[in-house]
Amino acid sequence: MDKPKVVLGVSGGIAAYKACELLRRLTESGHEVRVVPTASALHFVGAATWSALSGHPVSTEVWDDVHEVPHVRIGQHADLVVVAPATADVLAKAAHGLADDLLTNTLLTARCPVVFAPAMHTEMWEHPATQENVATLRRRGAVVIEPAVGRLTGVDTGKGRLPDPAEIYAVCRRVLDRGVTEPDLRGRHVVVSAGGTREPLDPVRFLGNRSSGKQGYALARTAAARGARVTLVAANTGLPDPAGVDVVPVGTAVQLREAVLKAAADADAVVMAAAVADFRPAAYAAGKIKKKDDKEPDPIVLVRNPDVLAEISAERARAGQVIVGFAAETDDVLANGRAKLERKGCDLLVVNEVGERKTFGSEENEAVVLGADGTETPVAHGPKDHLAETVWDLVAQRLG
């Protein structure tokens, strides 16, 4: 099969250096990438870098290799155009159909999906001109990723940061796989918990688990791509924030409960993908627990943690709120799953089999989604994003 052809447009912002990593991810995962920088982008990262990383010549103007009509051909032959970073200027030009260099010409001739990953100072992002341009591009079917909040150039912080290249890559993959889909979760607020809680014993030790958070992040990312406002309650994941998602970091089960209850108050759906510790040490030692030479260690006494899933299922914050749990099982997967669904009182339970080399930390997953209405939806082995899409399909059905 031919490699998917991606045009990577790079416009003139400091975040241009992060596009090198996006380019690397794209080429290493089997995409044919043509980089089209703007002249200003080359102030930040030179043509030699783009050319070496992509394996193709690079030009910014329509006047190079005119006989090949590059201003038309590059756009015509692409399966996807992604502009990262997209400056306010490039968004404005694209929204108004201006074409004064190779990138803007390419945007006019491309008939494939187009993804913009804007990066700029907060004032420029919030300016009504930019907001109207973004709305225009989205109305025409372009995917415009919400910028992240965080450190900008110099000492400034705020909204306008380029999302992590891994997340831009994930958005590109979704668009290549599924095209630009209807935002069927637009206007919905969804809460996802992810990762594994850590219950501290002393300042340096904790009881934890092997959950990586990848499935929860896939859920958050796909919900955002489907138009939802997403709150991601993240327990000890160390993963880059998914683009356009509000991330609330937590450590322990008690902190996770507080964050989930708060976010769930106005949520249409809550998906509990986090591995929440059922027990925590009864006591926390303020100083590091020392070994005593000739003595046996003291046993660790545990107490129960709240069951967040059971609690939010019993006391629904809103009528019609859809609640989804996850069950990690090692044996009798389906029978245990059915019993757990009833015990927890949620609407859907994603049951997957876990073991030393299964699920934890891996990029792929396989599961059955059990419904309180008796339904069973098997999800074949595949990327965690696919399972996430199925979960949102089932949630969207239930939200009506």
* Binding residue (CB under 6 A) for ligand CTP from 61, 246, 307, 364: 307
Specify the residue, 32 or 353, whose C-beta has the smaller distance to ligand CTP. 353
Interaction of residue 327 with ligand CTP, rule CB under 6 A: yes
Interaction of residue 272 with ligand CTP, rule CB under 6 A: yes
Interaction of residue 196 with ligand CTP, rule CB under 6 A: no
Interaction of residue 270 with ligand CTP, rule CB under 6 A: no
Interaction of residue 102 with ligand CTP, rule CB under 6 A: no
**Total residues binding ligand CTP (CB under 6 A):** 14
Specify the residue, 60 or 197, whose C-beta has the smaller distance to ligand CTP. 197
Interaction of residue 276 with ligand CTP, rule CB under 6 A: yes
Contact call for residues 305 and 277 (beta carbons, < 8 A): yes
The piece of 53-61, 148-156, 169-177, 326-334 that touches ligand CTP (CB under 6 A) is: 326-334
Q: Which of residues 7-36 bind ligand CTP (CB under 6 A)?
A: none
Specify the residue, 137 or 274, whose C-beta has the smaller distance to ligand CTP. 274
Nearest of 33, 37, 38 to residue 22 by alpha carbon: 33
Specify the residue, 115 or 324, whose C-beta has the smaller distance to ligand CTP. 324
Q: What are phi and psi of 313, to 5 degrees?
A: -75, -35
Specify the residue, 83 or 272, whose C-beta has the smaller distance to ligand CTP. 272
Q: Which of residues 75-94 bind ligand CTP (CB under 6 A)?
A: none
| Distance (Å, whole) CA 342 – CA 309 | 12
**Token pair for 351:** 């049951």
Could you give the residue numbers annotated as active site? 209
Contact pattern from residue 330 through residue 369 relative to ligand CTP, giving x for each residue in contact according to CB under 6 A and a dash for the rest: ----------x-----------------------------
Contact pattern from residue 221 through residue 260 relative to ligand CTP, giving x for each residue in contact according to CB under 6 A and a dash for the rest: --------------------------------x-------
The piece of 75-83, 87-95, 150-158, 306-314 that touches ligand CTP (CB under 6 A) is: 306-314
Interaction of residue 308 with ligand CTP, rule CB under 6 A: yes
Tell me the closest approach of the beta carbon of residue 28 to ligand CTP, in angstroms. 34
HEC assignment per residue over the chain: CCCCEEEEEECCCCCHHHHHHHHHHHHHCCCEEEEEECCCHHHHCCHHHHHHHHCCCCCCCCCCCHHHCHHHHHHHCCCEEEEEEECHHHHHHHHHCCCCCHHHHHHHHCCCCEEEEECCCHHHHHCHHHHHHHHHHHHCCCEECCCEEEECCCCCEEEEECCCHHHHHHHHHHHHHHCCCCCCCCCCEEEEEEEECCEEEECCEEECCCCCCHHHHHHHHHHHHCCCEEEEEEECCCCCCCCCCEEEEECCHHHHHHHHHHHHCCCCEEEECCECCCEEECCCCCCCCCCCCCCCCCCCCEEECCCHHHHHHHCCCCCCCEEEEEEEECCCHHHHHHHHHHHHCCCEEEEEECECCECCCCCEEEEEEEECCCCEEEEEEEEHHHHHHHHHHHHHHHHC
Interaction of residue 160 with ligand CTP, rule CB under 6 A: no
Interaction of residue 305 with ligand CTP, rule CB under 6 A: yes
Interaction of residue 119 with ligand CTP, rule CB under 6 A: no
Nearest of 144, 154, 153 to residue 243 by alpha carbon: 144
Interaction of residue 388 with ligand CTP, rule CB under 6 A: no
**Token pair for 150:** 């965080």
Tell me the closest approach of the beta carbon of residue 209 to ligand CTP, in angstroms. 9
Specify the residue, 305 or 365, whose C-beta has the smaller distance to ligand CTP. 305
The piece of 47-55, 146-154, 178-186, 304-312 that touches ligand CTP (CB under 6 A) is: 304-312
- Residues in the site for ligand CTP, rule: CB under 6 A? 253, 272, 274, 276, 278, 305, 307-309, 325-328, 340
